[in-house]
Structure 1
């Protein structure tokens, strides 16, 4: 019984094991072969056997397929910028993510590459906090509390980092009925104070800002939020700092205002005032979410309990945001900011912008060194100094369509932080060009190569530097009896309409895998080409017109003859008719007469 089971297992799994051992042999062309890990392709013309083989098999077969004919593209990973992790200081910016830039060239379709990445929360990482406050009439007591709490908040935040700065802006709503009273002047957004390390100025600007009456309850908070996000220079966001916007309100925010022009998500500050409140509609939730992610913002919605549920529903759509419930007079702002900041910084999540056939996956065990590595981009329970080690795998599922997408820049960054890892990815989708010896047919490169022979003919709209770089890969020489043998050889004939010249040349590969272009003399026949083609064109047009007229006349003649024949036939039949004009042969006399008796009686009376 045991022998039967063993035999059955072998029968089932032996084909699978064999296919794994010899998976290279399943590839029937060079392109598919190079997508299989550890497989190479032999393009030797006279090679007999499976051209796709493992590297070990290729080494053993060097007598039949020398190394110069083995297609074995190797990926090159270069750590272009790999500055060590560092704390913040007055002279140097903090480094929380390493490496900072990596170049991956000659990456193969169907392959996976791994880059080790480290993230560490730096001590004294700079914080930019921007107060964005609702100054409608219901927020009068909240404004008074913020005036008193500026110094206390600064002291609290400086316990977290030495490099803390604050700014202040306010919003009400659009200055138009029904959003405001006709007699009350409102505004959509004002940037009262640029971000700075000046607590006295902050307190002064909050005190100077006035309360405004509005008509409807929802306010224009989201419109002001977009301006605070995108107006980088006007608000004063530092490049290396955690950017936090504290939006304080006791009401909902408008999402639709009835203005036909949508919000464009761009900065429109004129001095301290936002000038497009009556020109653009309110922004959408999707716009806010995208801008927060693109510009690495952290949003704290500090709202009252009666509207908190609405903002909590919105919060998951904006990565790096949180919701805190204020007391009625906003007296707990300091505690709220401290708690929400700790919540934001207690976790890290890496995000990327990979697309076009490229996918990034993240593997880490976070802070649990004893656990196994799992696939996740997020880690929590972080503190200052916590070190997270990731393995980021780059998977190339398919060759992107179009040569322009073969070079991609993928950016990896922690949510809400400006630190980033830039991956310059070059995908090699043409490991086995069709001009190689193992190819049978392919589209020609005649048009491209003619610019190599005559650089002066490169059109202005084309990039001459790139063309020159491609041309440098070819060895261009005069065609003569001593020229090397090319395989396969492509023959080109290029006509230049501007000069009426024709250039003949051939190109291909030598046995030593050298790209060669062999060119003959240029043949110029000024005027001949244009005159010849013009005469032929006029002759063809004249012939078509003449044939058309002849066919039209012939058709009219045949139609005339047919009509005369039919008319004569009609006249002849009319003359031979066998009935007279006063006797209808179809008429039959009545066979029965009927008299109305009532009619006769009426006459007798």
Structure 2
């Protein structure tokens, strides 16, 4: 019973979940004004039809529901976005009339509905002869003396290299050292005049040459600029960058140009907070402070800029920053470039001899990539999609490998999530711009936060629809003071609105939801809603807390078809019980063929036997066990007679007793393993010694359905002659093998003995000597007369 109770609870949970999921999938439910309704979702619309809400229907609903429920199309508020191009000049190169244009359109206006994206196309084209302003900002501390000479010699080559890229090129030059205070620079009077041999007095930043189309001046100004000296290793480069970016007129930056700021040094940098070492605590104000000589005048009064200040000013002024530094400083500036939009760090030779290649390569790298970004787009969602140069269409705001003349089209999707309460904030302007360029697309958003029926002049004061006690607008009443209710029918002098709402809250509920969220409170009484659109089924109860259609199901029938659902609980007919009235009170289905309840080894629960856990019996009536004959033995004769016309049953007995047996081509063993209700049986047929197979399963009323495989598995016949001949042949073969092994072994022994004999013969030695009693047959005599002659 506990298991059945859990199943019933599970069914209720599933039903409640499905109902709640239906409400979640409809975001329009419960919205009480037209403006909020259209701002909730583009799926929502508002029905201002006067007759629509009389049946308890919600005026804010999905558009398809409003039409299906009979709301007139003319009375449905469903405003759409409106896109208007304000400035849409086509892209063009810089060699024609007027400035070069690389982005189109330039200005649009969108009347946009919250949560409904508006899409349009944005084109970017890399223009030919686009204006380029290159300002070379160089560290002129004493360690950079050789770099200065090399840079002066390469000035014309820089101009020639850039002229191959664009005909509209300007070049400028500035230098920096550090703040002229201790401990950055020696303040000894002599050192202030000449910190090193041939050095000029130290300074923070100096604009040496304003951006000029006459690039020949660059070499002269670089040669004239003398190096200076300081004490510590880091330089005051951040002061110089801030002034070079912010002093637009003094530097000569043009409004429409690609602005390159090349920063060259062999050392690190000071940043915000380092000024305290020199007693400077005033923060940098991020403004231009250059005198007539082009020198920075606030170096000794203001601290160094922070990284975020530098990043912000570079982004606001569309500067492309190139950090050209020596190899040992490259890791530091690589990390710095990650925080500055549109910046890169590159390796500079020790004497700046590769500066021409640095400028050329970095310019190509910068211009070969376009990256779209937004400005002032807080609380506005902007998404970009593009196929770039014919690639896969995907969500991206950047494209690489562009060449002069290449065009890229971005699909821009703009959306807002909600409406501000203040009308002044319902108009917003933001920009989309390519990183490193001053061109931009300005977008003005006018948020649609109210319906036409809510605008002044559309309302009906003291309307009949509101019992002359309120204003009728958008198909609903806004009640006068002291009145409340759907049609302002409730008098606040008799009971307040709060008191009326309290009377509609179920005192036994912990959620304290008015009419259980399933109805509307009218003058202290709940009017229950329909359970779903176009349905006669309604919630019930004083607080709409009852649902007579959410009881447990059995066999896809409410209350199993054997009861009535009353406020979520099944009231079962006589003879049935259970949460879904699925349990018959009769024990007929638990009786064995001998009318024994569950074979005496189980308990009948809800019409099904639950066999004792300590017994080996199983099955619908607990009749099966490992040592029992079982259904396999009971049905073996039927399987033989129906499948193979063999066995002990006659044809008449087979027809009478075996109607539950049918033939199949093959029994699927995998299915038998996967299906717990399907059992496999196999026996040997005594007539031919072949193995046959059949399965059985229980069906209604504990009957058995049997399926017999048409084919048997028979053993192969034995070839006696082959076995005898094979045995004899095997014995002869084994004998021959043994003889060969014996012969081989004797040959090896003989050869070994022969070799031993020959070796001993060769090693034998015969001794020779003279016989002591032997005398030769001849004698020899010497004549002394002729001795020696």
**TM-score, normalization by structure 2:** 0.52
**Residue segments in structure 1 that go unaligned for 5+ positions in a row:** 1-7, 437-472, 477-482, 492-505, 514-605
* Higher Rg of the two aligned structures: 2
Does residue 395 of the first structure (1) align with residue 415 of the second (2)?
yes
Q: Flag the 1:487–1:358 CA change in 2: closer, same or farther, 3 A.
A: farther
Equivalent residues in 2 for 1:129-168 (5 A)? 129-168=134-173
Determine if contact 2:107/2:442 at 8 Å carries over to the other structure. Answer: yes
Aligned to 2:176: 171
1:485-513 C-alpha deviation (Å, 9 max, x unpaired): 55899x9xxxxxxxxxxxxxx99678999
Distance (Å, rounded) in 1 between the aligned partners of 2:275 and 2:239: 11
Aligned to 1:193: 209
Equivalent residues in 2 for 1:53-452 (5 A)? 53=61, 55=63, 65=72, 67=74, 69-89=75-95, 91-105=97-111, 107-182=112-187, 183-184=191-192, 185-255=201-271, 256-258=274-276, 259-271=280-292, 272-369=294-391, 371=392, 373-400=393-420, 402-431=422-451
Determine if contact 2:462/2:470 at 8 Å carries over to the other structure. Answer: no
Q: CA deviation at 1:21?
A: 13
Distance (Å, rounded) in 2 between the aligned partners of 1:349 and 1:254: 30
Determine if contact 1:485/1:510 at 8 Å carries over to the other structure. Answer: no
Distance (Å, rounded) in 1 between the aligned partners of 2:394 and 2:296: 47
Q: Flag the 1:507–1:204 CA change in 2: closer, same or farther, 3 A.
A: farther
Distance (Å, rounded) in 1 between the aligned partners of 2:248 and 2:341: 19
Aligned to 2:667: none
1:558-603 C-alpha deviation (Å, 9 max, x unpaired): xxxxxxxxxxxxxxxxxxxxxxxxxxxxxxxxxxxxxxxxxxxxxx
Q: Flag the 1:510–1:340 CA change in 2: closer, same or farther, 3 A.
A: closer
Distance (Å, rounded) in 2 between the aligned partners of 1:24 and 1:201: 68
Q: Classify the secondary structure of the residue corresponding to 2:338.
A: helix
Q: Flag the 1:365–1:187 CA change in 2: closer, same or farther, 3 A.
A: same
Q: CA deviation at 1:404?
A: 3.4
Q: Classify the secondary structure of the residue corresponding to 1:412.
A: strand
Q: CA deviation at 1:399?
A: 2.5
Q: Flag the 1:355–1:84 CA change in 2: closer, same or farther, 3 A.
A: closer
Q: CA deviation at 1:40?
A: 1.8
1:21-79 C-alpha deviation (Å, 9 max, x unpaired): 994763543345313224321123443334234556666777x6472x43222221101
Distance (Å, rounded) in 1 between the aligned partners of 2:345 and 2:27: 55
Distance (Å, rounded) in 2 between the aligned partners of 1:66 and 1:400: 29
Equivalent residues in 2 for 1:43-58 (5 A)? 43-48=48-53, 49-53=57-61, 55=63
Distance (Å, rounded) in 2 between the aligned partners of 1:220 and 1:484: 71
1:437-462 C-alpha deviation (Å, 9 max, x unpaired): xxxxxxxxxxxxxxxxxxxxxxxxxx
RMSD: 3.3
Corresponding residue pairs, total: 441
**Residue segments in structure 2 that go unaligned for 5+ positions in a row:** 1-10, 193-200, 477-789
Q: Classify the secondary structure of the residue corresponding to 1:274.
A: coil
1:277-309 C-alpha deviation (Å, 9 max, x unpaired): 011100111111111111111011111112112
Determine if contact 1:486/1:511 at 8 Å carries over to the other structure. Answer: no
Q: Classify the secondary structure of the residue corresponding to 2:312.
A: helix
1:322-350 C-alpha deviation (Å, 9 max, x unpaired): 11211111111101111111111121111
Q: Classify the secondary structure of the residue corresponding to 2:52.
A: coil
Q: Flag the 1:20–1:114 CA change in 2: closer, same or farther, 3 A.
A: farther
Determine if contact 1:357/1:400 at 8 Å carries over to the other structure. Answer: no
Q: Flag the 1:22–1:397 CA change in 2: closer, same or farther, 3 A.
A: closer
Q: Flag the 1:261–1:143 CA change in 2: closer, same or farther, 3 A.
A: same
Q: Classify the secondary structure of the residue corresponding to 2:110.
A: strand
Determine if contact 1:129/1:167 at 8 Å carries over to the other structure. Answer: yes
Q: Flag the 1:22–1:137 CA change in 2: closer, same or farther, 3 A.
A: closer
Greater relative contact order (Cα 8 A, min sep 6): structure 1 or 2?
A: 1
Q: CA deviation at 1:101?
A: 0.7
1:172-200 C-alpha deviation (Å, 9 max, x unpaired): 11111111121323211111221110122
Aligned to 1:563: none
Distance (Å, rounded) in 1 between the aligned partners of 2:290 and 2:212: 18
Q: Give the stretch that moved more between structures: 359-368 or 409-418.
A: 359-368
